[in-house]
Amino acid sequence: MFERILLIALFFLTVSILVGLYRVIKGPSLPDRVVALDTIGINIIAGVAIFSILLNTHAFFDIILLIGILSFIGTISFSKFIERGYIIEYKRDC
């Protein structure tokens, strides 16, 4: 019973990832894609968590944290890129 609920949750997460992916593909603007990517990242975190329960292991907990950090950093850098055109500032005087 519990396993079935987990599977259903996984199914809905997949659906939402696919919907996010549709946004990534379709666009129409770059910020749409970046936000969709962020959403996908969050959904993947949930997916990995459910997987860990399904597989009865805690080997993947690190990954959950890592995806959270990376998703954040990625979104930030994309945002900075969209806003300024570059990510790491280039100091002229060095």
- Is residue 1 within the footprint of another protein (CB under 8 A)? no
- Is residue 42 within the footprint of another protein (CB under 8 A)? no
- Is residue 45 within the footprint of another protein (CB under 8 A)? no
Q: In this structure, are residues 48 and 64 in contact, taking their beta carbons and an 8 Å threshold?
A: yes
Q: Which of 5, 8, 12, 27 binds another protein (CB under 8 A)?
A: 27
Residue 82 DSSP code: H
Q: C-beta of 48: minimal distance to another protein in Å?
A: 6
Q: Which of 5, 8, 18, 19 binds another protein (CB under 8 A)?
A: 18
Of 33, 16, 15, the C-alpha closest to 24 is 33
Q: C-beta of 1: minimal distance to another protein in Å?
A: 19
- Is residue 28 within the footprint of another protein (CB under 8 A)? no
Tokens representing residue 38 in the block = 């962020």
Number of residues that bind another protein (CB under 8 A): 35
Rounded CA separation 58/53 (Å): 8
**Is the peptide bond preceding residue 31 cis, with omega within 30 degrees of 0?**
no
